[in-house]
Structures are given as C-alpha cells and as structure tokens.
Amino acid sequence: MAKNILLTGGTGFIGKNLTDLLIENGFSVSVFTRSPKENTSAIQYYKWDPDHNYIDEQAVLKADYIIHLSGEGIVEKRWTKKRKEAILESRIKPIDLIFSVLEKNNKPLDAFVSASAVGIYGAFTTHKICIENMPPANDFLGQTCQEWEKAVDKINTLGIRTVKVRTGIVLGRDEGFLKKIVPSFKSGFGAILGTGKQYVPWIHISDLCNIYLKAIVNSEMHGPYNACITDNTTNASLSKTLANIFGYTIWLPKAPKFILKIVLGEMSVAVLEGQRVSSEKMQKTGFEFQFTDLERTLVSCLK
Ligand SMILES: NC(=O)c1ccc[n+]([C@@H]2O[C@H](COP(=O)([O-])OP(=O)(O)OC[C@H]3O[C@@H](n4cnc5c(N)ncnc54)[C@H](OP(=O)(O)O)[C@@H]3O)[C@@H](O)[C@H]2O)c1
C-alpha cells in the first residue's frame, strides 16, 4: 500500500506543488485545511481549525509522514501586535495539536518535516554567509522561527525524526513572491528597493519540493537545512534582471528606504534587508539544485 503523507497548509503555494510531486512519486496525500474541498482519487481533505483547537484525528492516525506548511502569510499585512501573534500562533498551534494526537495515541511516524525560514538568521544585510548552526536573531522573524522550530523539536521528543526546511524566497509561476512584484515590473514601474544591496536568498519551487521529497525518503536527514541557492543575488541584481526580461533598463529612482518604512512599518525589514545563506549542508546530502541561474529561473517562471 502507498505510504500516506499528511500536509498541513497543503492548499497553499508550496503545498499544491508538493502534492503533485508526492503523488507522482507514488505517495497518497491527505491535506489538513480549514475549508475542505471534495476529495479526489489521490487527495483526501480533512477539516481542522487550529484557532479553535479542532482537529480530525483520523488524518493523523493514518499518516506515515507529516509535512507542516500551514501559517498566516508573513508579508500579507502590516505587523501589528495582533498580526505578529497570528503569524506565530498559526505555525505553532497546529504542531501542538498534532503533538497531542500523536502522544495520546502513541502513534509512530516515519518523519515530521516542517517549513521554517531563513528569517531565523535575522533581518540584516551583511556579507557573512549564514549556516545552520548560527544562533537565531533577536528580531521578530528570528524569534518567530525559533519558536516554530522549538515546537518541531517537541515532536522529536516522541522519538520521531524531524527535519526543518529553512526556506528562502520561493520563485514560482503566478504565486508567492513573484506574484507580488511582477505586475509593477510588467507595467514598467519596477524599482530597486532601498539600497538594493540586501541579499535575496531564493529557490525555485521545484527544487524546494524536491528538498521536501528528499527529507521524506532520506532517513539520514534530521534537524535544520537551508533551502535556497548560495549565490550573490541582491535586490538590485534581481530587479535589474526582471526589468531586462520585460525589455527595459532600471536607472533611477530607487524606492527610498524611508518611504518603504512609512508604508510598510516594521515589516519593511522583510524587503529592505536580506541575508546570504549557504545551502552546503543540503548539498552534502547529495541534493543537486536544478535551478541555479537567476535569469533562466525567472524566465521559466514567467513564461
Ligand atoms: N513562499 C515562500 O516564499 C516561503 C518562504 C519561506 C518560508 N515559507 C513558509 O512555508 C510555508 C508554506 O508557504 P506557502 O507560500 O505555501 O504559504 P501559503 O500559500 O500562504 O499557504 C499557507 C497555508 O496555510 C494555511 N493557513 C493560513 N493561515 C492559517 C491559520 N491561521 N491556521 C491554519 N492554517 C492556516 C492555509 O490553508 P487553508 O486556508 O486551506 O486552511 C494556506 O493554504 C509557510 O509556513 C511559510 O511561512 C514560505
């Protein structure tokens, strides 16, 4: 019988792409969602509502693996106190709910794999290359990722292998980061943000899904792995490359830092700062990134 993988947040950008890959690779897929759809021959949807502590235990009890992707969008709305709580709680509460079902039923799992983010290293711009054993930063994203990963470690105390995929900015067609910025570039208004020197640690959606698949099938993998290309892409190089693809050259003006700070508030750090991140640990598992050239990757996402 096909092994079953339960995805939380399986209706989102990464979840939908990953579901297709898992099915292609012979897994059966269950999805936890707050708004279940009709089941298909390959996907079963289960209702949950972590905000109200509701979970359909059957989904957990039949799973061989769980991949945790659910969470409120990090850059969807201004970071008010309430929004920050929602960002954190929507990542941690689901893990706590799953933990209680696993513990109560003494339910084994082959692995629990969770999204995390390179934001754990902090929102700052430096040439230093971030690796997995660096301590979490003291800012909002750093502390959020730390709490998120601590919740995953709790699952590990049940004797379950856990993997944390510290994800960079995911590039894919019509979704995520590109969905937000492409319209302005397409209409000729693309701009470099702030100094443009901030690094953009990116990864193509198909490479990211393959990292999740590898984390499932390779029982040697455990702990955190950075999931992004190790290179020198900065906001300026990304913006210039995108503009070139749409047939124009960016000169000036840049979108000034102070304006972005007024418009976005504290959340502006997510676009004005960015770290260089190493994927060496992931590559040491034998993983080979298929998308390593920025321009080719952007073209493939935009066609
Ligand atoms: N995309 C990126 O560039 C990127 C980069 C770094 C890290 N990540 C992380 O990877 C994970 C998946 O990202 P994604 O881009 O696929 O996100 P997404 O498209 O926004 O999907 C997230 C899913 O989470 C569920 N969700 C949202 N709010 C929730 C809440 N309050 N309670 C329970 N479920 C909730 C939603 O499912 P339902 O509405 O069906 O319940 C949604 O489909 C996230 O944790 C994200 O932070 C993403």
Comparing CA positions, the residue from 84, 102, 207, 214 lying closest to residue 152 is: 102
**What residue has token string 């994203």?**
141
Cα separation of 291 and 269, whole Å? 27
Farthest CA pair distance, the chain: 61
> Which of 19, 70, 140 best tests ligand 1's pocket when mutated (most atoms within 8 Å of CB)?
70
Closest atom of ligand 1 to 86 CA is 31
Domain coordinates in residue numbering, the chain: 4-234+266-302
- pLDDT tens track for 153-205: 999 999 999 999 999 999 999 889 999 889 888 888 888 888 899 999 999 99
Under CATH, what is the fold of the domain 4-234+266-302?
Rossmann fold (3.40.50)
Which residue lies with its CA nearest to atom 23 of ligand 1?
9
CA of 12 to the centre of ligand 1 (A): 6
Q: Are 84 and 111 in contact (CB under 8 A)?
A: no
Closest atom of ligand 1 to 89 CA is 31
Element (H, E) at 65: strand 65-68
Which residue lies with its CA nearest to atom 43 of ligand 1?
12
Q: Which residues line ligand 1 (CB under 6 A)?
A: 9, 11-15, 33-35, 50-51, 69-74, 90-91, 94, 115, 117, 167, 169-170, 176-177
> What pLDDT tens digit does each residue of the chain (303 aa) get?
899 999 999 999 999 999 999 999 999 999 999 999 999 999 999 999 999 999 999 999 999 999 999 999 998 888 999 999 999 999 999 999 999 999 999 999 999 999 999 999 998 887 889 999 999 999 999 999 999 999 999 999 999 999 999 999 999 998 899 998 898 888 888 888 888 999 999 999 999 999 999 999 999 999 999 999 998 899 999 999 999 999 988 875 577 777 777 777 878 887 888 899 999 999 999 999 999 999 999 999 998
Kindly give, in sequence order, each residue whose CB lies less than 8 Å from that of residue 85, ignoring residues fewer than 6 positions away. Answer: none
- How would you classify the pairing of strands 54-55 and 43-49? antiparallel
Q: Are 30 and 4 in contact (CB under 8 A)?
A: yes
CA of 8 to the centre of ligand 1 (A): 9
The mean predicted confidence, pLDDT, of the chain is: 94
CA torsion sign, 242 to 247 to 250 to 254? negative
Residue type, 157: T
CA of 244 to the centre of ligand 1 (A): 31
Which residue lies with its CA nearest to atom 19 of ligand 1?
12
